[in-house]
Structure 1
Amino acid sequence: MGARIERITAYDKLPRPLRGGVIAIGNFDGVHRGHQAVLERALEIARREGRPAIVLTFEPHPRAFFQPDRPLFRLTPAPAKAHLLQALGFNAVVEQAFDASFSGLTAEQFVERVLVEGLGAGHVVTGFDFHYGKARGGTPETLGRAGEANGFGVTVVDAFGDEGGNTISSSRIRELLRQGELPEANGLLGYRFTVEAEIIGGKQLGRTLGFPTANMALSPASDLAHGIYAVRFRRADGSLYDGVANFGRRPTVDEDGAPLLETYLFDFEDDLYGETCAVSLFAFQRGEEKFDGLEALTEQMKRDEETARAILQKVEPLSPLDLQIAFERS
């Protein structure tokens, strides 16, 4: 997947060798095809001008800061986002804390403190709808004028539409994932939707039934459709395994339990506890069901495995990024 990306916690902590870089600015939740249009433009300019390629993003997501009582289904929490940006070819990502102090910077202060003094920006790339500074006072137009005054270039990338001409957005992808419309969501992302988490212990019922699972607790804000998925599983060492996963509350055995992603890996025997792994979702096979006892559940699990194996035998990469994320051993 290339050289490991540097993850930096604040704009004023950028290492000196990375100053003067091309800065792509945005939340980039999902790093979907619309985001990739901005990010690829930044990479092109960085290669052409021989500058470092850097992403400036914000943690937590600004919407979570301004609306803390509304849980936000994050498509790509910071570690997952960093892995995608690394795969694209960026040198560093600045995960700037979005707090009261930072959100209070005026547009002029954002330019002076963040872009000029902190990052030493050589060029800035943003999307067409980028706003910055207190009360969203800065616009692409004001950013262009600020660049002329401070000696850095500015590129604004137009909206990127799908094959039907509709703008690709993170909120649109979140809704598709809620509805189990995985092929369309993956098509807008440009890669298979992937989650990362530590493998935790469970009740080991799957082992008893002959289907031992690697269990992950996703964020409570995750609104992924409950059900059965054909998946590809990546270990921390980069090795890949096909599998079938259930995300949900396991109504047959534990209806009141917290949602878990439970992945049964094909042809695999090893201890994964405590390892941070990634699961890429290739197909939504069916919704979660409550069965009349464990025997009926086991028979359905066998059918789910057969279906997943058949699906995964025929899959092809959606893009070079998908190839790196879900097909190539790293």
Structure 2
Amino acid sequence: MTTRFSVIRDTTPASAITKGAVVAMGNFDGVHLGHRVVISAAIDMARKHGKPAYAVTFEPHPRSFFSPNTPQFRLSDEAEKLRLLAGTGLDGAVVMTFDGTRAGTSAQDFINHDLIGRLGISGISVGYDFHFGKGRAGSPSLLASEAPRLGIEVHIQSHVDILDRPVSSSAIRMALAEGQVTEATAMLGEPWFISSKVIHGEKRGRDLGYPTANIRLDKHCGLKHGIYAVRAGIGQGKDRVRIDGVASFGRRPTFDNGAPLLEVFLFDFKGDLYGQRPDVAFIGFIRDELKFDGIDALVRQMDDDSAKARAMLAAAPDAFPKLGIVTD
């Protein structure tokens, strides 16, 4: 049985792939509650038969391939997604490159060549609405009908409802675009987070008494511009610490109205984060981004934002994304 979360790619030799695994298949953007039920079913199936459990997922996201000119707000990039998958209890992930060749592969060929021939799966778990293969001809019902011939077990998961609506990545994106962080958290099962490198900024914050870690998010990030209560995970292993803070995401209309930037002020923290990649989890939305007439008014508002963030974080559950370590 696999003891660490490893990643299998198209370039991985067939001889290095453990046959007989049970897989959960999907795009898994955000690894939300619906995804987690599909994954749990695969893990349960695998443990019952003493087999490893893997996620089968695709990069880049198929939407990016089919609509390259349409902005795609991803809830988690590839690295974030793999860390989330590693935190679910899976033994590893199979990351299949989604390109013209894969898009043109028939569903039957995908089953026969990729799932059975290359991976040698013994079982598969999918969501009720997951489709695959050329023209999206592959479906859960096709997998179920092929199961006896292939000698595999198939689990099809119905939709999972939260807040009186089915959980989906698109619903979570919509919630984040409206600043509804608690609703997004409910559908994800844990706070939404980003992980990116701290860069040098204009250093205005330190002059105002609020030194910030500046982080450039993906240009297609659809998070609502505004002020948030956040928690940050910094460091690795036993040296990792979690620190509360307040963050602004937006264009800084009081100063330059520039490209969107996440500016994170960590409470009671002294240290140099330049070049590091903290994990920043969004706990609550405080207010919209505003333009102020002067520095004094801005600082007073920042004081008020910090107080509200502290109160919000104190009242919130001590939740943070469960992230695993990926061997790639």
**Where on the TM-score scale, by shorter chain, does this alignment land: which range?**
over 0.9
Residue 324 of structure 1 pairs with residue 322 of structure 2: yes
Q: Offset at 1:40? A: 1.1
- Superposed CA deviations along residues 273-306 of structure 1, whole A, max 9, x for unmatched, are 1111110000000000001111211111111111
Letter in 1 for 2:132: Y
Q: Offset at 1:85? A: 1.0
Q: Offset at 1:33? A: 1.0
Cα distance change, pair 198–89 in 1 and its aligned pair in 2 (3 A) = same
Cα distance change, pair 210–317 in 1 and its aligned pair in 2 (3 A) = closer
Kept in 1, the 8 Å contact 2:17–2:119? The answer is no
Q: TM-score, normalised by structure 2?
A: 0.93
Letter in 2 for 1:30: G
Kept in 2, the 8 Å contact 1:13–1:118? The answer is no
Select the structure with the greater relative contact order (CA < 8 A; seq sep ≥ 6): 2
Q: Offset at 1:188? A: 1.0
Q: How does 1:21-40 map to 2 (within 5 A)?
A: 21-40=21-40
**Distance in 2, Cα, partners of 1:179 & 1:28:** 22
Q: How does 1:45-124 map to 2 (within 5 A)?
A: 45-124=45-124
Q: Offset at 1:16? A: 3.5
**Distance in 1, Cα, partners of 2:124 & 2:226:** 42
Q: Secondary structure of 1:284's match?
A: strand
Q: Secondary structure of 2:132's match?
A: coil
Q: Offset at 1:163? A: 4.5
The runs of at least 4 aligned residues of structure 1 exceeding 2 Å deviation read 7-19, 322-325
**Distance in 1, Cα, partners of 2:14 & 2:281:** 32
Cα distance change, pair 15–277 in 1 and its aligned pair in 2 (3 A) = farther
Q: Offset at 1:45? A: 1.1
User: Considering only aligned residues, what root-mean-square deviation do their CA atoms show, in Å?
Assistant: 1.6
Cα distance change, pair 167–308 in 1 and its aligned pair in 2 (3 A) = same
Kept in 2, the 8 Å contact 1:12–1:118? The answer is no
Cα distance change, pair 287–202 in 1 and its aligned pair in 2 (3 A) = same
Q: How does 1:67-216 map to 2 (within 5 A)?
A: 67-164=67-164, 166-216=165-215
Letter in 2 for 1:73: F
Q: Secondary structure of 2:44's match?
A: helix
Q: TM-score, normalised by structure 1?
A: 0.92
Structure 1: give runs of 5+ residues left out of the alignment: 326-330
Cα distance change, pair 15–27 in 1 and its aligned pair in 2 (3 A) = farther
Letter in 2 for 1:309: R
Match of 1:232 in 2: 231
Match of 2:298 in 1: 297
Structure 2: give runs of 5+ residues left out of the alignment: 324-328
Letter in 1 for 2:249: F
Q: Offset at 1:145? A: 2.7
Q: Offset at 1:87? A: 1.1
Kindly tell me the number of residue pairs found equivalent between the two proteins: 318
**Distance in 2, Cα, partners of 1:307 & 1:15:** 56
**Distance in 1, Cα, partners of 2:133 & 2:321:** 37
- Superposed CA deviations along residues 95-153 of structure 1, whole A, max 9, x for unmatched, are 21100011111111101111012211111110111222111112212212323212221
Letter in 2 for 1:45: M
Match of 2:41 in 1: 41
Kept in 2, the 8 Å contact 1:30–1:170? The answer is yes
Q: Secondary structure of 1:88's match?
A: coil
Identity %: 42
